[in-house]
Amino acid sequence: MNMKSPGLRSATLSLLGLGLLVAFIYYVYVNIDEYMKLLKISPLSILLLLTLPLAFPVINGIINTILFQRLGTKISYKNGVLLAAATSLANQLPIPGGILSKGFYLKRLYNLSYTKFISATLALFFCFVAVNGIIGISIMLYWKIFNNLTIFPALLIGFLVMATFLLVFWFPLGRIRLPAKILWWFTQAIDGWVLIRKAPILLLKLIGLQTSLMLLLAFRYWIAFHMLSQDVSVGEAILFSSASVLTQLVSFAPGGVGVTEAIVGATASALGFDFSVSIVAVGLDRLLSTSVILLVGGISAVILSSQISKENVDSKDRE
Q: Give the DSSP per-residue string, 214-243.
A: HHHHHHHHHHHHHHTT----HHHHHHHHHH
Check the CA dihedral 17-19-25-27 and report its sign. Answer: negative
Give residue limits of the domains in the chain. Answer: 43-309
**Is residue 5's pLDDT more than 90?**
no
pLDDT at 218: 95
User: What residues have CB less than 8 Å from 175, skipping those under 6 apart?
Assistant: none
Cβ(185)–Cβ(159) under 8 Å? no
**Separation CA 47–CA 250 (nearest Å):** 31
* Radius of gyration (C-alpha) of the chain in whole angstroms: 21
Nearest to 90 by CA among 57, 54, 124: 57
Of the pLDDT bands very low, low, confident and very high (cuts 50, 70, 90), residue 3 is very low
Q: Encode burial over 195-230: b for 16+ CB neighbours within 10 A, e otherwise.
A: bbeeeeeebeebbebbeebbbbbbbbbbbbbbbbeb
Tell me the angle at which helices 77-90 and 97-110 cross, rounded to the nearest 10 degrees. Answer: 150
**Is residue 2's pLDDT more than 50?**
no
pLDDT at 266: 85
> Poorest-confidence range of 74-78, 128-132, 161-165, 249-253?
249-253
**Is residue 173's pLDDT more than 80?**
no
Who has greater pLDDT, 273 or 315? 273
Instruction: Give percent of the chain above pLDDT 70.
Output: 75
**Is residue 17's pLDDT more than 70?**
no
> Poorest-confidence range of 121-125, 137-141, 166-170, 204-208?
166-170
Look up the pTM and report it: 0.81
pLDDT at 92: 74
